[in-house]
Structure 1
Amino acid sequence: MTQIGFYHLTRSGVADALPRLLARTVASGQKAVVWCAGKPLLQELDKALWQVSTPTWLPHGSEGTPCPNLQPIWLTTGEDCPNDARFLFLLENRSSADLSRFERVFDLFDGLDDAAVAQARERWSAAKADGHDLAYWRQEEQGWKRAR
């Protein structure tokens, strides 16, 4: 089954937290697809990823980008995955009926938004019922801490 990590954002927004996770993904030789719920966040992430210099530069593409199959990171508001990524990043309480086509899923949610936390709990319950391998990560002062 798919490994699904729930990432509870408590200290920063997704535009600050996501580049570090994507940098680790690309450094491990994997490709990523990022599913946003709306265009505003997609555009914010597009700008943020082009401006990242630490820990690394993060090349990426989205709709209209030539050669989408060659992009190490693909940003979309749909459920497309033209780069055949094995790592999926779900943002803005996105979910999908079929996560089994991915090796790993990163579900990032806003821990300061009660509705987002409640929706993450629902996604956790559904993923657990489907038999996926689950992990819960909480943002701490110095990075992420896995809760048992």
Structure 2
Amino acid sequence: MGAVYFYHLTDTPLEATLPMLLSKARGAGWRILVRGDDQALLERLDQTLWNGPVDDFLPHGLAGGPHDGEQPILLASGLAADGFECVMSVGGSTITASEVGLSERCCVLFDGHDEAALNVARGQWKMLTDAGCAAQYWAQDNGSWTKKAESGS
């Protein structure tokens, strides 16, 4: 069974944090689903990844193309986690306990300056840890990540 990591973004925005986490996940050899419920957000992240540093290019695609099944990183809404070792939730998209169990890692990235996003993340933490999922909570602390809590197996 995998684990779910919660990333509380306070010092850097999603557009800066996501590429760093994607690079680490790709370094582990994982195929990644970036799931969001807001198509405009996914399109913005797609552009962010295309415009990233040439020497750290992250091959990816926005769902709906002819090669979705071959994309090492796929940005999508409402797509099941089957076939992905890592699922990254953005914009409050839900991750289920069964997805945590099927994946090597699930990540919930949320804006620490948005009260609604904080409440969604708290609800996700409670639901997933109550279901027995191993979870870690990471927060930014003066530019670096610090593990603030851990729960589960």
> Structure 1-normalised TM-score?
0.91
Please tell me whether the aligned partners of residues 20 and 55 of structure 1 are also in contact (alpha carbons under 8 angstroms).
no
Q: Using the alignment, how far apart are the partners of 2:110 and 2:43 within structure 1?
A: 18
Mind listing any 5+ residue stretches in structure 1 that lack a counterpart? none
| Alignment correspondent of 1:146 | 147
Q: CA deviation at 1:96?
A: 3.4
The structure-2 alpha-carbon separation of the partners of 1:65 and 1:103, relative to structure 1 and needing over 3 Å to count, comes to same
| Alignment correspondent of 1:130 | 131
Q: Using the alignment, how far apart are the partners of 2:12 and 2:148 within structure 1?
A: 19
Please tell me whether the aligned partners of residues 23 and 55 of structure 1 are also in contact (alpha carbons under 8 angstroms).
no
User: Does 1:86 find its partner at 2:85?
Assistant: yes
> Structure 2-normalised TM-score?
0.88
Mind listing any 5+ residue stretches in structure 2 that lack a counterpart? none
Identity score, percent: 31
Q: CA deviation at 1:58?
A: 0.5
**Secondary structure of 1:96's match?**
coil
**Secondary structure of 1:85's match?**
coil
Superposition RMSD on alpha carbons, in Å? 1.7
The structure-2 alpha-carbon separation of the partners of 1:110 and 1:24, relative to structure 1 and needing over 3 Å to count, comes to same
Please tell me whether the aligned partners of residues 5 and 136 of structure 2 are also in contact (alpha carbons under 8 angstroms).
yes
Please tell me whether the aligned partners of residues 33 and 88 of structure 2 are also in contact (alpha carbons under 8 angstroms).
yes
The structure-2 alpha-carbon separation of the partners of 1:138 and 1:10, relative to structure 1 and needing over 3 Å to count, comes to same
